[in-house]
Amino acid sequence: NAGVTQTPKFQVLKTGQSMTLQCAQDMNHEYMSWYRQDPGMGLRLIHYSVGAGITDQGEVPNGYNVSRSTTEDFPLRLLSAAPSQTSVYFCASSLGHRSEAFFGQGTRLTVV
């Protein structure tokens, strides 16, 4: 069972570059979300989706875009990378609003 798959696992970007972090789940979950993990900050919600075609902002959305064209995929786009976006990014999915979330392995992003 693949679960939640994130690619790439590691990425180095130069300031101003753009890129897309990929996330796919094979559990037919309606809910998907993106978090960033920073030292001493726990995980903070960037964007989330409650179903295909529906997205909304979380706690720290600035500098990121998302779309949800299918149930399976929820890519996160960095429009113009900044050093403040250096972080570990996690994608998660869940069956319903009171269910546990399943996480991908994470993408470690460094912006230089």
Partner 1 sequence: GNSVTQMEGPVTLSEEAFLTINCTYTATGYPSLFWYVQYPGEGLQLLLKATKADDKGSNKGFEATYRKETTSFHLEKGSVQVSDSAVYFCAQNYGGSQGNLIFGKGTKLSVKP
Residues in contact with partner 1 by CB under 8 A are: 4, 31, 33, 35, 40-45, 48, 50, 56, 58, 90, 92, 94, 96-106
Q: Min. distance of Cβ 45 from partner 1 in angstroms?
A: 5
Minimum distance from residue 79 beta carbon to partner 1 (Å): 22
Closest contact distance (angstroms) between CB of 15 and partner 1 is 26
- Cβ-based neighbours of 31, under 8 Å, separated by 6 or more: 48, 49, 50, 51, 93, 94, 95, 96, 97, 99, 101
Amino acid present at 44: R
Cα distance between residue 49 and residue 57, in whole Å: 9
Terminal-residue alpha carbon distance, the chain: 36
Q: Which is nearer to partner 1, 14 or 98 (CB)?
A: 98
Looking at residue 102, the DSSP 8-state letter turns out to be E
Q: Which is nearer to partner 1, 82 or 101 (CB)?
A: 101
Task: For partner 1, give the closer residue by CB, 14 or 100.
Answer: 100
Specify the residue, 9 or 18, whose C-beta has the smaller distance to partner 1.
9
